[in-house]
A and B are shown apart, each in its own frame.
Chain A
Amino acid sequence: MWVYSFMQNALFGGIIVATVCGIVSVFIILRRMGFAAHALGHMSLTGSCASALLGIPAIVGQLILNVVIAIVMGLMGDKIKKNDLSIGVVLTFVLGLGTYFLFLFQNNYAGSVMAILFGNIFAVSTTQIWQLLGLAIIILLIMIVISRPLIFASIDPVVAESRNVSVKLLSIIFFLVLAITVSMACQVVGALLVFVLLIIPGAIGIQWGESIYRIIAISVSVANLSLVVALHLSYYLDLPVSFCLTMLLCFTYSIGIVKLIVRNTK
């Protein structure tokens, strides 16, 4: 199956996205930003619909919209965690716009809506792979630079602030990283299922890892392994990749839950 160029592109694109999501998802969980990540994923629907209407690549519209929203969320700092309502209101407003764009878009390109919502990894072009690789390198460089204060501020924000760690600046930078990651993941799993790669790998890492390095390593490995297996399943069983990936990750997560139940009952 790897002789086909669309499968090779799917593999390369998928590995780039899974690696970045595996790293970022650990911090999403530690910083309790699940709802913000979920909202950014859904809002990228509006970005991609607007791009389609303007005739520009979907990732460009998603990036612009997500980055603007991420800066606003980052400026709100800790308040965003304590006030889900404000995210909900912004999400509703942006999704409302997205619905209208979708309506206009559907009239011209019927059928492509599914690709925005659920992603189409087999449609990833060589140009898109280079775009994804460029964005991944930017994210990895940012994460290397901010990793130490980000870990400190994520685990112990009060003491980090007392030690002159710029918690608000880190919040803005991390939201920007998240915005770019969401835009990348949408190319693979779509706007509706972006949560799959942004939450579950990190959650599995946390179930099994004892140190931050181990948690990240487990998260990245699980995301990549699931993606490769999902591509195989999709190819041989003729199933959607997003579906296979979701089921595999959820199944792996449930193993951790079962292990916990067994340990607690002993």
Chain B
Amino acid sequence: MIICKNLELGYSCKNVTPAFDLEINDNQWIGIIGKNGTGKSTFLKTILGVIPIVRGDLTILGQRPGKCNNLISYIAQEREINLADRMSGTSLITSSFYGWKYGLPWIGKKLKNKVEELIELVGATNYAHQSFATLSGGQKKRIYLAQALVNQPQILLLDEPLADLDPHAKQHFIEALQKIHQHQKLGLMIISHDMHEIASHLDAFIHFSGNGVHYCPTIECVKEDTYVGL
């Protein structure tokens, strides 16, 4: 799914990580952990091609970064949603359906059914048709999750989706991820500082630290990698 060879991440003149090698298999669910500023979000943005590679090679689904973004869904850590006051979560999900294609957006019965299915899958049926502005943080995150799935992605990138959520909302979000895992075949990369809560659903971990970027097959392995947050 993702192959990194001698990859260095960073911005134009500043390296964030030393060179590293990684190979992530198809449909693997990966947890990304590490302290702030170690390059976790930079890694996701580099996969999307939003931030260019400093050095080395990165291949996603056999292509260069940015070339297969229609097969990748990304839930950003910070986002600016410009929905009108009365527009619902359903409107947000619908608006992103093939949003990169030119032409009139046609909302047919097939799309409506698909959106309803996704809303049910993430457990947002009770509030998806309410005004998006009135939803809680946890409810909005589940709408984002449904939006991310609308174009049947092969990879889902989540940048700290559990941040700012209370334990109850976190639990609901993790349950929604579990349901997705059961129903859809896709790879997932999730950045979180609350990895202990989601670790049991993940196949492996990538640890970003000052010493470099390491692939850890188990959570214990991350602990041995001197990560202090666990």
Task: Determine how close the nearest CB of chain A comes to the CB of B97; give it in whole angstroms.
Answer: 9
What is the minimal beta-carbon distance from B119 to any residue of chain A, in angstroms? 15
Q: Which of A154-181 contact B (CB under 8 A)?
A: 154-165
Of the candidates B79, B80, B100, the one whose C-beta lies within 8 Å of that of A163 is B100
Binds A, one of B28-36, B66-74, B184-192, B210-218: B66-74
A209 to B85, CA, bound (A): 9
Known: A152-B99, A163-B100, A164-B70. A210 touches B76 (CB 8 A): no
B96 part of interface (Cβ distance < 8 Å)? yes
Check A145 against B76 for contact (C-beta < 8 Å): no
Nearest residue, chain A, Cβ from B88: A210
Contact among B69, B85, B103 for A206, CB-based, below 8 A: B85
A165 to chain B, nearest CB (A): 5
Q: Does A148 interact with chain B (Cβ within 8 Å)?
A: yes
Give the chain B neighbours of A109 by CB distance below 8 A: none
Inter-subunit contact B102/A208 (CB<8 Å): no
Q: A202: shortest Cβ distance to chain B, in Å?
A: 9
A208 to chain B, nearest CB (A): 7
Over the window 86-111 of chain B, the binary record of Cβ atoms lying under 8 Å from chain A Cβ atoms (1 yes, 0 no) is 11100110011011111111000000
Most interface-central of A32, A149, A153 (chain B CB within 10 A): A149
Known: A144-B104, A164-B66. A159 touches B87 (CB 8 A): no
| In the complex, chain B residues whose CB is within 8 Å of the CB of A15 | none
Q: Judge whether B83 and A155 touch: CB under 8 Å.
A: yes
Q: Judge whether B80 and A158 touch: CB under 8 Å.
A: yes
Number of interface residues of B (CB under 8 A): 33
In the bound complex, do residue A152 and residue B50 qualify as a contact, i.e. CB atoms below 8 Å apart? no
A165 touches B99 (CB 8 A): yes
Closest to B129 in A: A210
Contacts of A148 in B (CB 8 A): 98-99, 101-105
From B66, B76, B82, B104, A155 is in contact (CB under 8 Å) with B82
Within 8 Å by CB of A159, from B66, B84, B98, B147, lies: B147
Cβ contact within 8 Å between B88 and A163: no
In the complex, A250 Cα to B18 Cα: how many Å? 59
A208 proximity list for chain B (CB < 8 A): 86
How far in angstroms is the closest Cβ of chain B from A248?
Answer: 22
Would you call the interface of chain A mostly helix, strand, loop, or mixed? helix
Which residues on B sit within 8 Å (CB–CB) of A212? 87, 91, 95, 105
Closest CB in chain B relative to A185 CB, distance in Å: 22
- A107 in contact (CB, < 8 A): no
Structural contact, A154 and B82, CB atoms closer than 8 A: yes
Contact A146 B102 (CB under 8 A): yes
Give Cα A66 to B101, complex, Å: 28
Q: A209–B82 contact, CB under 8 A? A: no
CB neighbours (8 Å) of A149 from chain B are 99-102
Complex contact A158–B76 (CB within 8 A):
yes
B96 touches A152 (CB 8 A): yes
A147 to B105, CA, bound (A): 7
Among candidates A32, A147, A161, A209, residue contacting B103 with C-beta atoms closer than 8 Å: A147
Q: Is A31 an interface residue (CB 8 A)?
A: yes
Whether B85 pairs with A31 at a CB distance below 8 angstroms is no
The interface bits of chain A over 205-224 (1 if a CB of B lies within 8 angstroms of the residue's CB, else 0) are 01111111001000000000
Is the pair B79, A156 in contact by a Cβ cutoff of 8 Å?
A: yes
Cα of A151 to Cα of B81 in the assembled complex, Å = 12
Q: Is B48 an interface residue (CB 8 A)?
A: yes
A225 contacts partner chain B, Cβ-Cβ < 8 Å: no
- Which B residues are closer than 8 A to A by beta carbons? 48, 50, 66, 69-70, 72, 74-76, 78-88, 91-92, 95-96, 98-105, 147
- 16 example contacts (A-B, Cβ-Cβ < 8 A) are as follows A148-B105, A149-B99, A151-B105, A152-B100, A154-B82, A155-B92, A156-B79, A156-B80, A158-B79, A159-B79, A159-B96, A160-B99, A162-B50, A165-B100, A208-B86, A212-B87
Given contacts A156-B80, A163-B69, 18 further A-B contacts (CB under 8 A): A29-B84, A147-B105, A149-B101, A151-B105, A156-B147, A158-B76, A159-B96, A160-B99, A162-B48, A162-B50, A162-B69, A163-B74, A163-B100, A164-B69, A206-B84, A207-B86, A209-B84, A215-B87
